């Protein structure tokens, strides 16, 4: 056993693989090795069971029934909201449940952006954003005659606070929207510092926490952002539920994003008035069973302890960086130290296209992602069409990294490299 493996085990790594039923599946007689948690996480049995139990025994529409079953559904949905809010350090009333983080960011771009962004003003984002935190701002800026500017990444794949200061000093920035953790570089951004400087310059802030909340302790309130968004399916929850934490003063003043049932106080033939928070931003029947599932997921993560989750993934990431560097012709993007990044590594292998790399990994029974990772501007900035990416979750173990490295080595041989 390589030394780093025993070190990772000695550090009290989580041993929760058995909690995830899908990981007992076999492909061509081999155990599933899932290294694509940055795309979506696998789900523990407690989450699957919570969704099933809700549908089996407590299903009714919410916020409308007087009968006992409907009240159970209300309690389940609002109970889940309270847990989801508390998990990220926010209050329930300022926590809006959306379809995913993409919808959460669109909500802000529409409902805050249309009312507050004027001609000649600017939105500031970064070169490392996911399309979800680029395109809504592009559309908004075009509509409002505003400018979209980018903070650059340096050779380490990190942002410069100096550039942030000079951008803010121009005096036209109304919104600063930044990823907490990059889904390609892995970079953990200094979001508390970015938010504080943006606020001092009079800008509103949004943090895209899709790759952070599932993997490390996050107290969105302490970070100080006006909006903090994340997505349930990457956090061991079901697909179909995302989260937007927003500051009350801003949410209260915003017009709704989507309109229709449930988000109104009253409707007359020509006009309507809006429901209170958070319902004003939840038009139509919300993702009830999905929220219940995410509630069970955050219970599960909280029981593991997010400090332990981070410690486990940090060990794995360090091991992954170390083992990947042993592969000839392999180069990794993003900060070199595991401590500066989330649990993922994007890389290129000389002479083999990223899609072939993923295909070769699959032959070794290992699931990794290849492509632009919905970050095409970043790919352009890095000067590559695509990268392969391995990413870890609570259920991964060091031997799975070994399997990836073996598969990559075998792949190089196959390509005659």
Q: Which residues are catalytic?
A: 374
Are the beta carbons of 109 and 246 closer than 8 angstroms?
no
Q: Nearer to ligand 7TS by C-beta: 130 or 280?
A: 130
- Least Å from the CB of residue 37 to ligand 7TS: 10
Nearest to 147 by CA among 110, 180, 175, 115: 175
Nearer to ligand 7TS, 72 or 362 (CB): 362
Tokens representing 193? 């510092």
For 155-179, b where at least 16 C-beta lie within 10 A, e where not — what string?
A: eebbbeeeebeebbeeebbbbbbbb
Instruction: Return the number of the residue (8 or 342) whose C-beta is nearest ligand 7TS.
Output: 342
- Residue 126's SS3 state is strand
What phi-psi label fits residue 358: left (phi over 0), alpha (psi between -120 and 50 degrees) or beta? alpha
**CB closer to ligand 7TS out of 174 and 180:** 180
Instruction: Report how far residue 375's alpha carbon sits from residue 185's, in angstroms, rounded to the nearest whole number.
Output: 10
CB 364 within 8 A of CB 31: no
For residue 64, what is the enclosing H or E element? none
CB of 72 to ligand 7TS, least distance (A): 28
We find the least distance from the C-beta atom of residue 183 to ligand 7TS, in angstroms, to be 3
- How far apart are alpha carbons 41 and 43 in whole angstroms? 6
**Tokens encoding 52:** 């099933």
**For ligand 7TS, the closer CB: 164 or 378:** 378
Rounded CA separation 415/351 (Å): 8
What is the separation, in whole angstroms, between the first and last Cα of the chain? Answer: 27
Least distance in Å: CB of 344 to ligand 7TS? 8
Cis peptide before 123 (omega within 30 of 0): no
Beta carbon nearer to ligand 7TS, 73 or 137: 137
Question: In angstroms, what is the minimal distance from the CB of 373 to ligand 7TS?
Answer: 5
Helix (H, G, I), strand (E, B) or coil at 110: helix
Using CB under 6 A as the criterion, which residues of the chain lie in contact with ligand 7TS when the complex forms? Answer: 38-39, 100-102, 130, 132-133, 179, 183, 208, 210-211, 231, 233, 369, 373-374
Q: H or E stretch including 27?
A: strand 26-27
Helix or strand or coil: residue 388?
A: strand
Give the span between the Cα atoms of 162 and 20, in whole angstroms. 44
**Taking the complex as a whole, how short is the minimal distance between the CB of residue 271 and ligand 7TS, in angstroms?**
33
Closest to 76 in 3D by CA, of 97, 52, 88, 59: 59
Nearest approach, Cβ of 200 to ligand 7TS (angstroms)?
25
Closest to ligand 7TS by CB, 231 vs 348, is: 231
Cβ atoms of 204 and 228 closer than 8 Å: no
**Stated length of the chain:** 417
């Amino acid at each position: 056993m390589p030394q780093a493996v025993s070190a990772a085990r000695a550090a009290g790594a989580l041993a929760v693989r058995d909690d995830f039923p899908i990981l007992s599946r076999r492909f061509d007689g081999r155990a599933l090795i899932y290294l694509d948690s940055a795309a979506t996480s696998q789900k523990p049995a407690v989450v699957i069971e919570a969704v099933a139990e809700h549908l089996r025994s407590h299903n009714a529409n919410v916020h409308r029934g007087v009968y006992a079953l409907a009240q159970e559904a209300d309690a389940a949905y609002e109970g889940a909201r309270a847990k989801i809010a508390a998990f990220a350090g926010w209050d329930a009333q300022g926590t809006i449940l959306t379809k995913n983080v993409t919808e959460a960011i669109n909500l802000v771009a529409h409902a805050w952006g249309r009312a507050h962004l004027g001609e000649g003003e600017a939105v500031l984002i970064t070169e490392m954003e996911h399309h979800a935190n680029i395109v809504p701002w592009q559309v908004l800026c075009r509509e409002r005659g505003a400018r979209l500017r980018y903070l650059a990444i340096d050779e380490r794949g990190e942002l410069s606070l100096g550039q942030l200061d000079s951008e803010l000093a121009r005096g036209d920035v109304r919104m600063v929207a930044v990823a907490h953790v990059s889904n390609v570089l892995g970079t953990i951004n200094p979001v508390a510092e970015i938010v504080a400087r943006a606020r001092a310059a009079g800008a509103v802030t949004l943090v895209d926490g899709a790759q952070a909340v599932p993997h490390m302790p996050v107290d969105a309130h302490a970070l100080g952002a006006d909006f903090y968004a994340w997505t349930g399916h990457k956090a061991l929850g079901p697909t179909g539920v995302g989260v937007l934490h927003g500051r009350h003063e801003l949410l209260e003043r915003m017009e709704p994003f989507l309109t229709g049932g449930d988000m109104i106080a009253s409707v007359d033939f020509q006009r309507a008035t809006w429901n209170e928070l958070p319902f004003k931003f939840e038009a139509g029947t919300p993702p009830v069973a999905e929220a219940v599932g995410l509630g069970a997921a955050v219970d599960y993560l909280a029981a593991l302890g997010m400090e332990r989750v981070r410690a486990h993934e940090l060990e794995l990431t360090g091991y992954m960086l170390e083992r990947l560097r042993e592969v000839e012709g392999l180069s990794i993007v993003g900060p070199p130290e595991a401590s500066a990044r989330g649990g993922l590594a994007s890389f290129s292998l000389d002479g083999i296209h990223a899609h072939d790399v993923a295909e070769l990994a699959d032959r070794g029974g290992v699931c990794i992602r290849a492509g632009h990772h919905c970050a095409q501007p970043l790919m352009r900035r890095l000067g590559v069409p695509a990268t392969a990416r391995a990413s870890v979750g609570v259920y991964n173990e060091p031997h799975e990294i070994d399997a990836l490295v073996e598969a990559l080595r075998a792949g190089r041989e196959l390509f005659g490299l």
